[in-house]
Amino acid sequence: MKILVCISKTPDTTAKIAFADNNTKFAAEGVQWIINPYDEWYALVRAIELKEANPEVVLHLINVGNADNEPIIRKALALGGDEAIRINSEIADSFNVASQIAAVAKEGNYDLVFTGKETIDYNGSSIGGMIAELLDLPFISHAVKFDLEGSNATVTREIDGGEEVDKAILPLVVSCQKGMAEQRIPNMKGIMGARTKPLKVMEPISADVLTSIASFDLPPVKAGVKLVSADNPEELVRLLHDEAKAF
Amino acid sequence: MVLVFIDQSEGQIKKASFEAASYASKIAAQLGTTAEAVLLGVTSENLSNLGNYGVKKVHTIANETLTNFDAQLYTKAIAQVVEATNADVIVFSNNTTGKAVAPRLSARLKAGLVTGAIALPDTSNGFTVKKTVFSAKAFANININTPKKIISLNPNSFNISSTTDTAEVVPFNTSVDASKIAVSAINKVTGEVSLSEAEIVVSGGRGLKGPENWGLVTELATLLGAATACSRPVADIHWRPHHEHVGQTGLAIAPNLYIAIGISGAIQHLAGVNRSKIIVVINKDPEAPFFKAADYGIVGDAFEVMPKIIEAVKKIKATA
Ligand SMILES: Cc1cc2nc3c(=O)[nH]c(=O)nc-3n(C[C@H](O)[C@H](O)[C@H](O)COP(=O)(O)OP(=O)(O)OC[C@H]3O[C@@H](n4cnc5c(N)ncnc54)[C@H](O)[C@@H]3O)c2cc1C
């Protein structure tokens, strides 16, 4: 039983969002990097739990990116997992990244591929679905619960306005979100152990790039808040109704 | 031709699909072509009405297997329609269905994909689509560099425009494989407005002190026909269900009106809601960061202010 968890590096949630080079690049200077929360809190932790429940599970992490990503990969290994793979490639677009991961997943015959539901920087929600298509496997997205009995998976996924319970047989690709697991803090033993876990570096395969970033914009600044006295909340309702025509 | 995917759940077309259809028709007009639609599964809806949103033809595969969602089968079916109709642009709504199918279709057709689009493409020089990035703290303009292009449109980002035109409904004949996913239950929160599609959202934070006080949120929401939401700690401590959690690590929403009660407005919360058109903040702390992102606000105690707001809304609703 082999599980592959996709790990991506994103700016910290409090990072200042600004752009450089004529608004064509994210201004990365001074930015703190974290493991994409959906990958870490949900995909990775749930995979670790599956391994804890069944020691036969082999758990590998995969990241596409340059050597700057290694601290993040070690941090993920400190939470758990047997080894990590880094595909030594600059990020071109989601299809290219998915192609890299799919090639490794195919070669390694993984039974289960976990991704986060999206990254908090590009918000693409694309990698999991693309990997599944490239591997011709079923894909369950936005999973909030995942249980495994042998190779029978029971997955609860979010749908618009509720939840759906699905049953499927491995191999499977699943994108994970809140509910799958609870966030964990790495302990000292994990951090020490992570230093000696294998981190394999592989060169990228040649794969298409379908899109490119032309530029970034920041949203317009708000005009400022119109405050209404707490003694007269009725006035707020009147403004919303008559002035803003909001209801 | 621009092909729009019409999403149904248990046979009912979702509102986000009408937005997507309006959006697809506008793109078609921009490119000097027509828009057509594809719908999978069995529905009792009158599909010719999709013409109201500018679609000329609706291709349906009324196969029972497709009434349940399976991203793999949906992708195969849509890819066949794309091929048969020679569609160059394919439009999805960026909801849970679109997020699962659009990337698969992109990989299958090697068609460049932009998810989370918020505006019509700029076709003056190539094909560039604006989307939200960094959890709506910024926008990116993405070039799609392939002959076939796929866009998934964020819900509540494009106005539905409608006429009385009707569309021709044509069955699309194809065989459908058995699904590898068995749906064993669908649990919808009935009677509630879906959060991602809601035009008005009333949201509560830790300032409301406990789940027993949520009547202040739900009563206002019911009066306004709004969906309810909450901040992350509120979902974490199980005052409210997880699916109500909005923000950077929850759902990102863009309603017309967002009313935040007892929420401080941390950067991670704002990330998911700052595309709301009008933001109203009720917080007893004048220094709460949320006021900087708000359009209207009251500095005051929610427990005193909210009952008065609810009464005032009731009065307006009674005379409407
Ligand atoms: C990586 C990361 C991701 C995160 N993602 C999210 C996310 O997606 N969504 C999210 O919401 N948060 C997220 N957070 C948490 C975020 O930083 C804040 O902690 C959280 O939003 C605070 O929730 P709150 O405003 O309900 O509570 P608090 O910060 O405790 O604020 C409560 C507010 O209520 C006001 N108040 C108290 N009593 C009253 C009263 N009687 N009447 C009126 N007002 C009152 C207070 O003045 C205060 O402003 C994230 C944090 C991290 C580190």
Residue A170: CB partners within 8 Å, gap ≥ 6? A111, A112, A148, A151, A152, A153
Residue B288 has pLDDT above 90, yes or no: yes
Q: Which residues of B105-144 are buried (b: 16+ CB within 10 A; e: fewer)?
A: bbbbbebbbbbbbbbbbeeeeebbbbbbbbbbbbbbbbbb
Rounded to the nearest integer, the mean pLDDT of chain A is 96
Say yes or no for a CB contact (<8 Å) between B113 and A166: no
Q: B277 to chain A nearest CA, in Å?
A: 9
For chain B, say whether A219 makes contact (Cβ under 8 Å). Answer: yes
| Centroid of ligand 1 to alpha carbon of B284 (angstroms) | 13
Is the entire prediction scored with pTM above 0.90? Answer: yes
Residue B203 CB–ligand 1 contact under 6 Å: no
Look up the CATH number of the domain holding residue A120.
3.40.50.620
Kindly state whether residues B151 and B208 are assigned to the same domain: no
Kindly state whether residues B121 and B83 are assigned to the same domain: yes
For chain A, say whether B314 makes contact (Cβ under 8 Å). Answer: no
| Centroid of ligand 1 to alpha carbon of B231 (angstroms) | 6
Kindly state whether residues B121 and B254 are assigned to the same domain: no
Q: How many CA atoms lie within 13 A of A88 on its CB side?
A: 6
B151, B171, B191 — which closes off a domain? Answer: B171
Among A105-114, B14-23, B188-197, the range scoring the smallest mean pLDDT is B188-197
For chain A, say whether B231 makes contact (Cβ under 8 Å). Answer: no
Residue B206: CB partners within 8 Å, gap ≥ 6? B231, B233, B234, B262, B263, B264
Q: Which domain holds residue A117?
A: 2-216
Q: Is A198 exposed, middle or buried (0-12, 13-18, 19+ CB in 10 A)?
A: exposed
Q: How confident is the model at residue A195 (pLDDT cuts 50, 70, 90)?
A: very high
Q: How confident is the model at residue A220 (pLDDT cuts 50, 70, 90)?
A: confident
Name the residue facing B135 among A120, A239, A246 (closest C-beta): A120
Rounded to the nearest integer, the mean pLDDT of chain B is 95
The mean per-residue pLDDT over the stretch B24-37 comes to 98
| Centroid of ligand 1 to alpha carbon of B62 (angstroms) | 46
Look up the CATH number of the domain holding residue B225.
3.40.50.1220
Phi, psi angle pair for A41, to nearest 5°: -70, -35
The mean per-residue pLDDT over the stretch B273-282 comes to 96
Residue A161 has pLDDT above 90, yes or no: no
Q: B38 to chain A nearest CA, in Å?
A: 20
Kindly state whether residues B76 and B165 are assigned to the same domain: yes
d(C-alpha A77, C-alpha A104), whole Å: 18
B143, B125 Cβ separation under 8 angstroms: no
Q: Which residues of B196-227 are buried (b: 16+ CB within 10 A; e: fewer)?
A: bbbbbbbbbbbbbeeeebbebbebbbebbebb
Q: How confident is the model at residue B314 (pLDDT cuts 50, 70, 90)?
A: very high
Kindly state whether residues B167 and B206 are assigned to the same domain: no
Per the domain annotation, does A233 fall within a domain? no
Say yes or no for a CB contact (<8 Å) between B298 and A236: yes
Kindly state whether residues B77 and B224 are assigned to the same domain: no
Per the domain annotation, does B193 fall within a domain? no
Kindly state whether residues B16 and B104 are assigned to the same domain: yes
- Searching chain B, which residue's CA lies closest to the CA of residue A212? B143
Question: Which positions in chain A touch B143 (Cβ < 8 Å)?
Answer: 211-214
pLDDT > 90: percent of chain B: 92
Kindly state whether residues B224 and B299 are assigned to the same domain: yes
pLDDT at site A142: 96
Q: B311 to chain A nearest CA, in Å?
A: 8
| Centroid of ligand 1 to alpha carbon of B198 (angstroms) | 22
pLDDT at site B319: 87
Per the domain annotation, does B191 fall within a domain? no
Say yes or no for a CB contact (<8 Å) between A234 and B308: yes
Q: Which helix H or strand E contains B213, and what residues bound it?
A: none
Peptide bond into A171 cis (omega under 30): yes
The domain total for chain A is: 1
| Centroid of ligand 1 to alpha carbon of A24 (angstroms) | 33
Question: Which positions in chain B touch A168 (Cβ < 8 Å)?
Answer: 180-182
Specify the 3-state DSSP secondary structure of A49. helix
pLDDT at site A144: 96
Per the domain annotation, does B260 fall within a domain? yes
d(C-alpha B214, C-alpha B216), whole Å: 5
Per the domain annotation, does B205 fall within a domain? yes
Q: Which domain holds residue B210?
A: 200-319
d(C-alpha A173, C-alpha A127), whole Å: 10
Kindly state whether residues B270 and B212 are assigned to the same domain: yes
Per the domain annotation, does A245 fall within a domain? no
Per the domain annotation, does B192 fall within a domain? no
Residue A103: CB partners within 8 Å, gap ≥ 6? A205, A207
The protein residue whose alpha carbon is closest to atom 26 in ligand 1 is: B205
Q: Which of A123, A182, A235 to mutate to test the interface with B (most CBs of B within 10 A)?
A: A123
Phi, psi angle pair for B112, to nearest 5°: -60, 140
The mean per-residue pLDDT over the stretch B215-242 comes to 96
Per the domain annotation, does B182 fall within a domain? no
pLDDT tens per residue, range B72-125: 999 999 999 999 999 999 999 999 999 999 999 999 999 999 999 999 999 999
Kindly state whether residues B219 and B151 are assigned to the same domain: no
d(C-alpha B60, C-alpha B167), whole Å: 12
Number of A:B CB contacts under 8 A? 285
For chain B, say whether A16 makes contact (Cβ under 8 Å). Answer: no
Look up the CATH number of the domain holding residue B108.
3.40.50.620
Per the domain annotation, does B6 fall within a domain? yes
The domain total for chain B is: 2
Name the residue facing B189 among A128, A162, A233 (closest C-beta): A162
pLDDT tens per residue, range A6-19: 999 999 999 999 99
For chain B, say whether A214 makes contact (Cβ under 8 Å). Answer: yes
Per the domain annotation, does A177 fall within a domain? yes
Residue B240 CB–ligand 1 contact under 6 Å: no
Kindly state whether residues B118 and B225 are assigned to the same domain: no
Per the domain annotation, does B188 fall within a domain? no
